[in-house]
Amino acid sequence: MDILEEIIAHKCEELERMRAKKPSLRQALLDSPTGIIAEFKRKSPSKGWIKEDGRADIIPLSYQQNGAAALSILTDKKYFGGHDDFIRVARQSGVTIPILYKNFVIDRFQLYEAVLCEASAVLLIAACLTRERCAELIQTAHELGLEVLLEMHSEDELEYAELEPDICGINNRNLGSFVTDVENSFRLAKLLPKDAVKVSESGISNPDTIKLLRQAGYRGFLIGETFMKTDDPGQALKEFIAQIP
């Protein structure tokens, strides 16, 4: 085999790995006793740096080792201190559980980026998209083998759930004011489709809240700052899980 043949053979292996079916976020939440999606979030637009030195080759794997059902990794650079490479690095470090590509996705090009960095699912935010554009992005994501977590915040946005995303998320944080209220999840739970896999996002800092949200029908709980603001996010996750009723 000459050098060119060797390069092409390796390139075929890379493509096969990228095309390979990724672990399902939806199924992971259905199977998990806790449903925690632990988030790698280094920065916030409202709070600034949370963990500027947070390493993608350490924290995500530690989350996996300490009981996370799945991961969420911020890839927005300017406002959240993220990067697509953080997902690649996490995979290379040994992460095998589902990873949510978390960004403000408004164009199908970003879906290709999610595939290339080996994410399992992508976040779509109703507040950022028309219903028509959201439907197009869900279709494209599915064609690329990505699951979709569709995030809604208000009663007006719940009509987007009719687009049949893989997972329905309720954000407890208002993305305009950044005010957070977990009661938002309880208020909207009954208005979502009964068979939807539901995720409550943001503002969850008390293990008792997980029990109450489960009783309201939620199977997933996206938690970031509660863990990332500690010295050891993975250990903080472990201790949090141990306290869930």
Catalytic residues, by residue number, are 39, 41, 102, 151, 171, 201-202
Helices 131-143 + 108-116 axis angle, to 10: 30
3-state SS class at 155:
helix
Which whole-number Å values give the CA distances from 154 to 38, 62, 172, 184, 191, in the listed order? 24, 34, 9, 8, 11
Calpha distance 73→90 (Å, rounded): 9
**Pick from 224, 235, 214: nearest CA to 33:** 214
Q: How many other C-beta atoms can be found within 10 angstroms of the C-beta atom of residue 128?
A: 14
Q: Are 28 and 98 in contact (CB under 8 A)?
A: yes
159-164 contacts at long range (C-beta below 8 A, 24 or more positions apart): 159/131, 160/126, 160/131, 160/134, 161/192, 161/193, 161/196, 163/131, 163/134, 163/135, 163/138, 164/138
Check: CB of residue 173 under 8 Å from CB of residue 182: no
In degrees and rounded to multiples of 5, residue 231 shows phi and psi of -70, -35
What's the CA gap between 64 and 68, in Å, rounded?
5
